[in-house]
């Protein structure tokens, strides 16, 4: 696509990156078929191609409007369009840049701004954990909308204490330790059983995705630098072989550190090394299967599998969890249709766009367990705390991280 950047953007790194991405788009429209918001709304401006066109106009000098901003807000950043695009258009990078530009030019209503500020600051605040515990203690009394965001408290169980020669850094995450502490503990136990030790360095925190995707680039980058500072002594010593992330949304972000910090002399090399070492937990499954094959007693019954967009589209990791858990004897079944579509969680999307988010959740649950599915599963498995919490709020069936189920199967063996 021909583009003519305005003077404002022509010589900036973001402008040049946006231009390179825009030029790759040939307007073929293949991406429309897999875009959830286009599927629900049927409006070209709520499709990847439409949004690309809107952003092109902004980079060429047109003043964005509140409508422009709303079309960008309605995007889930699910990156289904990137998987579909035959021309390799990096839509995700473009929309992150575009959102920050539009945010600086279009004022939001006071209520909208307050909500976004709360999400940016609240989710990674040290007060989130205590607030979640208070919410969990009065969960039964909460209004339905709030109750849906507060999962029941579950005991994390013991943390392994054995030392192993093989060590990995484990990103704890910001909301996960208080919302579902068992996921990190189960990760540590499963890896320990496979002869790998999890190291939790002081000073690490939120991966930066919440702020970065809410158009607070500076805030997100600050959190990324803090994580690199916390991890670097271990990486520099060569005492760890990977940075393991068990929430696919955070993993997708950490794999971007190298690109996002490429222009910062102090951090560029370290960030690139961190991204090189970043692994979604499922990427360790071949080692886990090899070590534990004879020790795992899988639970009986079929388990529905929901692959988060951040796993299958952002990280392009497809089929691994089903294949490797299948090798251990578990029976996993993906959604019968639309397995490639977002469940509507999408980070803070379920809070900011509740109507679209709920429509997508109902569709997803329909294909996983509802009248559209043929056999009712014992549970739903996924790989991202956001999807797990969001889906759990729509069903009585347990929704778990796959590592929790593997951990239980090991403990009962
Ligand atoms: S599929 Fe790719 S090239 Fe075609 S319109 Fe969509 S983004 Fe552009
Ligand atoms: S990221 Fe998802 S919602 Fe956004 S344009 Fe692409 S396919 Fe549509």
Structural domains of the chain, ranges and CATH numbers in brackets: 7-107 (1.10.1060.10), 115-147 (no CATH), 166-283 (3.40.50), 292-411 (3.40.50)
What is the Å distance from ligand 1's center to 95 Cα? 14
Protein residue closest via CA to atom 4 of ligand 1? 28
Residue 146 is predicted with a pLDDT of 77
Percent of the chain with pLDDT over 70: 99
Whether ligand 1 lies within 6 angstroms of the CB of 13 is answered as: no
Answer whether residue 412 shows pLDDT above 80: no
Ligand 2, residues 80, 82, 340, 343: which to mutate, most atoms within 8 A of Cβ?
80
What is the Å distance from ligand 2's center to 82 Cα? 8
Q: How far apart are alpha carbons 6 and 11 in whole angstroms?
A: 9
What is the Å distance from ligand 2's center to 45 Cα? 11
Locate the ligand 2 atom nearest the alpha carbon of residue 342 and give its number: 2
Task: Encode pLDDT of 359-381 as tens digits.
Answer: 999 999 999 997 666 678 999 99
Task: Encode pLDDT of 111-139 as tens digits.
Answer: 999 999 988 888 877 777 777 777 887 78
Ligand 1, residues 24, 49, 91: which to mutate, most atoms within 8 A of Cβ?
49
**Which ligand neighbours the alpha carbon of 96 most closely?**
2
**Which ligand neighbours the alpha carbon of 40 most closely?**
2
**CB atoms near residue 161 (< 10 Å):** 8
Long-range contacts of 219-223 (CB under 8 A, 24+ apart): 219/120, 221/260, 221/261, 223/124
Task: Encode pLDDT of 217-239 as tens digits.
Answer: 999 999 999 999 999 999 999 99
Residue 134 is predicted with a pLDDT of 75
Locate the ligand 1 atom nearest the alpha carbon of residue 28 and give its number: 4
What is the Å distance from ligand 1's center to 91 Cα? 9
Buried-exposed string 94-125: b where 16+ CB fall within 10 A, e elsewhere = bbbbbbbbbbeebeeeeeeeeebeebbeebbe
Protein residue closest via CA to atom 2 of ligand 1? 85
Task: Encode pLDDT of 73-106 as tens digits.
Answer: 999 999 999 999 999 999 999 999 999 999 999 9
Query: Sheet holding 196-199: strands in order across?
Result: 196-199, 166-170, 243-245, 278-280
Whether ligand 1 lies within 6 angstroms of the CB of 132 is answered as: no
Task: Encode pLDDT of 161-210 as tens digits.
Answer: 999 999 999 999 888 888 899 999 999 999 999 999 999 999 999 999 99
Lowest mean pLDDT among 316-320, 332-336, 355-359: 332-336
Whether ligand 1 lies within 6 angstroms of the CB of 28 is answered as: yes
Residue 149 is predicted with a pLDDT of 76
Protein residue closest via CA to atom 5 of ligand 2? 48
Protein residue closest via CA to atom 3 of ligand 1? 25
Average pLDDT over residues 53-77: 97
- Provide the mean pLDDT of the chain: 94
Q: Which residues contact ligand 2 via a Cβ below 6 A?
A: 35-37, 48, 51, 75-81, 91
Query: Sheet holding 331-334: strands in order across?
Result: 331-334, 302-305, 379-382, 399-401
Whether ligand 1 lies within 6 angstroms of the CB of 31 is answered as: yes
**Helical (H) or strand (E) element with 322:** helix 320-327
The token duo for 29 is: 């429209």
Residue 413 is predicted with a pLDDT of 66
Task: Encode pLDDT of 253-295 as tens digits.
Answer: 999 999 999 999 999 999 999 999 999 999 999 999 999 998 9
């Amino acid at each position: 696509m021909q583009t003519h950047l305005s003077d404002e953007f022509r010589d900036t790194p973001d402008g040049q990156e946006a231009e390179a991405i825009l030029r790759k788009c040939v307007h073929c429209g293949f991406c429309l078929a897999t875009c959830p918001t286009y599927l629900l709304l049927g409006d070209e401006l709520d499709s990847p191609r439409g949004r690309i066109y809107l952003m092109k106009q902004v980079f060429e000098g047109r003043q964005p409007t509140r409508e422009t901003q709303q079309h960008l807000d309605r995007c889930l950043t699910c990156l289904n369009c990137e998987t579909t695009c035959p021309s390799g258009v990096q839509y995700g990078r473009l929309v992150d840049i575009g959102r920050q530009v539009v945010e600086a030019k279009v004022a939001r209503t006071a209520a909208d701004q307050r909500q976004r500020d709360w999400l940016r600051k609240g989710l990674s605040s040290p007060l989130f954990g205590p607030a979640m515990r208070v919410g969990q203690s009065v969960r039964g009394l909460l209004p339905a909308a709030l109750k849906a965001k507060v999962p029941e408290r579950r005991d994390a169980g013991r943390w392994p204490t054995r030392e192993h020669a093989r060590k990995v850094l484990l990103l704890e995450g910001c909301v996960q330790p208080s919302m579902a502490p068992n996921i990190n503990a189960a990760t540590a136990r499963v890896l320990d059983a496979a002869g790998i030790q999890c190291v939790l360095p002081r000073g690490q925190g939120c991966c930066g995705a919440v702020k970065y995707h809410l158009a607070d680039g500076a805030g997100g980058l600050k959190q990324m630098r803090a994580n690199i500072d916390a991890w670097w002594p271990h990486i520099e010593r060569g005492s760890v072989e990977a940075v393991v992330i068990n929430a696919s949304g955070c993993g997708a972000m950490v794999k971007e550190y190298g690109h996002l910090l490429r222009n910062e002399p102090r951090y560029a090399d370290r960030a690139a090394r961190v991204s090189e070492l970043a692994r979604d937990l499922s990427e360790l499954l071949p080692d886990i299967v090899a070590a534990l094959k004879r020790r795992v007693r899988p639970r009986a019954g079929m388990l529905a599998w929901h692959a988060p967009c951040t796993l299958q589209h952002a990280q392009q990791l497809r089929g691994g969890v089903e294949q490797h858990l299948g090798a251990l004897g578990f029976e996993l079944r993906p959604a019968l249709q639309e397995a490639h579509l977002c469940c509507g969680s999408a980070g803070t999307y379920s809070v900011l766009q509740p109507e679209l988010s709920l429509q997508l959740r109902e569709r997803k649950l329909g294909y996983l367990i509802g009248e559209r599915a043929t056999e009712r599963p014992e549970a739903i498995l996924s790989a991202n705390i956001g999807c797990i919490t969001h889906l759990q709020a729509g069903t009585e069936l347990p929704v778990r991280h796959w590592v929790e189920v593997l951990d239980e199967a090991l403990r009962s063996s």
